[in-house]
Amino acid sequence: MLSASLLFLGLLQLAVSKPLLSKRWEEFDVKHSWVEVPRGWELHGPAPEDYKFNMRIALKQDRFDDLVTSLYEVSDPSHHKYGQHLSKEEVEALVAPHPETVDLVDSWLTAHDIDLSSAQRENGGSWLTVVVSVDQASRMLNTTYNVYRHAQSDDYVVRAMSYSLPAVLHGHIGTVAPTTYFGTMRSMKATSRLQPQIKPIDSDVEVAHKLVGPGSLATVPSSCATTITPACLRALYNTSTYVPQATTKNSIGVAGYLDEFANRADLQTFFSRFRTDAVGGTFTTVRVQNGGDDQTDPGVEANLDIQYTEGITFPTPNIYYSTGGSPPFNPDSNTPTNTNEPYLDWLNFVLAQSSIPQTFTTSYGDDEQTVPFDYATQVCNLFAQLGARGASIMFSSGDDGVGAGNCQNNDGTRTVRFQPNFPASCPFVTTVGGTIRVAPEVAVSFSGGGFSNYFARPSYQSTAVSTFLTRLGSTNAGKFNTTGRAYPDVAAQGQGFQVVIGGRVSSVGGTSASSPTFAGVIALLNDFRISQGKSSLGFLNPVIYSTGVNGFNDITSGSNPGCGTNGFTASAGWDPVTGLGTPDFGKLQALIG
């Protein structure tokens, strides 16, 4: 009797503590899990159950394969649809989720008492944002949320070591954030650094005077071997006599993140020293997700980017995107915080505009293995959408050669392997490595390069990369994935850039300098095409590996050591240090302009 009533009480408790959920929401399969806390992070404590945050859910994009097919058609110079880029509406129609997916996910959310009326649906409905409490999210994903601290940056985030989805939802949901992706812009690597060992110069009047016009490569002054100014780059990459003509239609965007502000006064000082004809030129700041614009706090990365995109493309309109994140985790806050995942914020913001710049550059990245595969795939897919819209997307390749530190895998095995960078490894972006010196340029030793473990080698680079691999033979065998997407695609100077920061000139280096430089040249090519009544270049890789391949200065010496090895060596043709080489604007104009 006693035991029966205890049993009854027990059942009653079970019924009270668990909401009535249909069985299909309780049969979980793991979506992603880590075997160890991501490097650099430490467990701080449990996340408060009533802490609320924005949960982002990527729904399966019903016709994503068609989007990729379209992307390659409009980006392939031999296809009759070349240059016929898609509109925002056309892209959204292709990435929209199937109605069944929407219904199923909505009923799952409703079963967990989520208020759908306040849900935000972006990107053709394929990204859904809802407000959830830690308690709700833990039950939805059969996980435990904790607060983790990034020791170096003192950043706090609410994340999980693993998460699951009901088995029935696995085919309908690409990723859920925030869950297991720990990266924040504060913790990530901006790929630039000050180079105090390179003595800055105050002006380059002499260099500028030596610009004698097209074909002036041989006369690039020897000072450009140590200190880089716009005049050096315009001579080296053969843009110095080009005058932009499509400035009412063509523009270039710089994606900037948390706490990095491009300074207007510094740009004027920069122009007065290094590009006097551009004095008075300016840029537009677009603020995304409460991004700031503190003109008393110039950022090294932001100033480098905008001074060099503008130094090469003036008078082309330049747009600086200042993307905020949430303030750091605050357990006492009652306002739901953003997920603090700026790529998603920036991408969804830009994709929601009906008119976008034709060229973009971004100088951030992280080890690919620290970005969960499901998350990386969804972010990479968003870059494909930008390409289909007709934008060329440049990313720096990273500043650690084939890998930083001990290069151990984080899968529990601690195997030493080359560590590729993401988003550099995404096949839908154009990745830019670094060079130094002039006549000839050589690879800079930190130039990030390698092979993705997530993304297979796209066909546009299969010939170039297999030629390289055949020549490489067994060097570095077992250290990298021979079937992965290989990068960088191209290169540009990456050291000794003269940048004005807080009124003073400093030397700055990194593939962060290479990416805006290359992007600047592409923006001029886009200007040329648009002024001829043609489309923008859009997603570059299919065209640069084919008809554009002879428009590059092939870099054939230097290497990118790392992981206790000599890394790869630059050689004739494509290589994973400098890609196809550095741009020659005049030749590219003739080939793909």
Ligand X SMILES: *[C@@H]1O[C@H](CO)[C@@H](O)[C@H](O)[C@H]1NC(C)=O
The residues annotated as belonging to the active site are 301, 305, 512
- Sign of the dihedral defined by the CA atoms of residues 469, 545, 312, 290, in that order: negative
Q: Which stretch binds ligand X (CB under 6 A): 83-91, 191-199, 479-487, 532-540?
A: 479-487
CA distances from 99 to 113, 116, 175, 412 (A): 21, 16, 18, 40
SS3 state at 168: helix
- Three-state DSSP class for 223? helix
Pair of tokens at residue 251: 């523009």
Q: How far is the CB of 109 from ligand X (least distance, A)?
A: 18
| 215 is a contact residue toward ligand X (CB under 6 A) | yes
Please report how close the Cβ of residue 457 comes to ligand X at its closest, in angstroms. Answer: 6
Closer to ligand X by CB, 398 or 583: give it.
583
- Minimum gap (Å) between residue 404 Cβ and ligand X: 18
Nearer to ligand X, 146 or 153 (CB): 146
> Token pair 């997307």 is at which residue?
393
* Binding of ligand X by 26 (CB under 6 A): yes
Nearer Cβ to ligand X, position 279 or 469?
A: 469
For Cα atoms 242, 244, 248, give the angle at the middle one, nearest 5 degrees.
Answer: 175
In the bound state with ligand X, the residue whose beta carbon lies nearer, of 26 and 49, is: 26
Q: Is 192 in the site for ligand X (CB under 6 A)?
A: no
From 60-68, 332-340, 477-485, 571-579, span contacting ligand X (CB under 6 A): 477-485
202 annotated among ligand-binding-site residues: no
Residue 587 interacts with ligand X (CB under 6 A): yes or no: yes
Q: Does 214 bind ligand X (CB under 6 A)?
A: yes
Task: Work out how close the CB of 414 gets to ligand X at its nearest, in angstroms, rounded to a whole number.
Answer: 14
For residues 82, 83, 84, 85, the Cα torsion angle rounded to the nearest 10 degrees is: 120
Nearest approach in angstroms of CB 534 to ligand X is 18
Which residue from 319, 526, 567 is spatially nearest to 430, judged by alpha carbons?
A: 526
Residue with tokens 């886009």: 526
Collect all residues with Cβ–Cβ distance below 8 Å to 72 and sequence separation of at least 6. 79, 542
253 known ligand binder: no
575 is in an annotated binding site: yes
> Where does this chain touch ligand X (CB under 6 A) — which range of 6-14, 210-218, 490-498, 560-568?
210-218
Q: Which of 103, 456, 471, 564 binds ligand X (CB under 6 A)?
A: 456
CB of 592 to ligand X, least distance (A): 14
Number of residues forming the site for ligand X (CB under 6 A) = 15
C-alpha torsion sign, points 81, 87, 91, 96: negative
CA angle 466, 380, 544 (to 5 degrees): 45
Close Cβ partners of 423 (under 8 Å, ≥ 6 residues apart)? 343, 362, 365, 376, 379, 380, 383, 395, 429
Scanning 62-70, 321-329, 476-484, 509-517 for contacts with ligand X by CB under 6 A, the matching segment is 476-484
Answer yes or no: is 584 a known binding residue: no
What is the amino acid identity at position 531? Answer: S
Q: For residues 172 and 457, which CB has a smaller minimum distance to ligand X in the complex?
A: 457
**Residue, CB closest to ligand X:** 586
Residue of the chain from 244, 302, 584, 592 that contacts ligand X (CB under 6 A): 584
Closer to ligand X by CB, 26 or 36: give it. Answer: 26
> Is 527 a binder of ligand X (CB under 6 A)?
no
For residues 581 and 538, give the distance between their C-alpha atoms in angstroms, rounded to a whole number.
20
- CB half-sphere exposure, 281, CA atoms < 13 A: 26
Of 121-129, 249-257, 285-293, 580-588, the segment contacting ligand X by CB under 6 A is 580-588
Range list of H helices, 391-545: 462-472, 511-531, 541-544
Q: How far is the CB of 450 from ligand X (least distance, A)?
A: 12
When asked if residue 142 is in the footprint of ligand X (CB under 6 A), the reply is yes
Q: Rule CB under 6 A: choose which of 24, 28, 247, 547 binds ligand X.
A: 28
CB of 526 to ligand X, least distance (A): 17
Closer CB to ligand X, residue 13 or residue 483?
A: 483
Q: Between 144 and 276, name the residue whose CB sits nearer to ligand X.
A: 144
Q: Can residue 217 be called a binding residue for ligand X (CB under 6 A)?
A: yes
- Nearest-5° angle of CA 429, CA 435, CA 439? 130
Binding status of residue 115 toward ligand X by CB under 6 A: no
Choose one: 71-79, 250-258, 282-290, 481-489; the region binding ligand X (CB under 6 A): 481-489
C-beta of 483: minimal distance to ligand X in Å?
4
Helices (H) and strands (E) in the chain, counts: 15, 27
d(CA 169, CA 246) in angstroms, rounded, equals 48
| Residue partners of 359: CB distance under 8 A and separation at least 6 | 251, 252, 253, 391, 392, 394, 519, 522, 523, 526, 536
Is 123 a binding residue for ligand X by CB under 6 A? The answer is: no
| Region 236-255 residues binding ligand X, contact defined as CB under 6 A | 238
Give me Rg for the CA atoms of the chain. Answer: 25
Rounded to whole angstroms, the Cα distance separating 110 from 278 reads 57
Among 341, 364, 318, 311, CA closest to 192: 364
Please identify, using beta-carbon distances, which residue of 360 and 574 lies nearer to ligand X. 574
CA dist 555 and 313 (Å) reads 24
| Shortest spacing between CB 587 and ligand X, in angstroms | 5
| Contact between 373 and ligand X per CB under 6 A | no
**Site for ligand X contains 453 (CB under 6 A):** yes
CB atoms within 10 A of CB 78: 9
Binding test (CB under 6 A) with ligand X, winner from 229, 481, 511, 559: 481
Collapsed DSSP state (helix, strand, coil) of residue 30: strand
**Residues in the site for ligand X, rule: CB under 6 A?**
26, 28, 142, 214-215, 217, 238, 453, 456, 481, 483-484, 584, 586-587
Residue ranges for the known binding site for Ca(2+) are: 554-555, 573, 575
Annotated binding site: 554-555, 573, 575
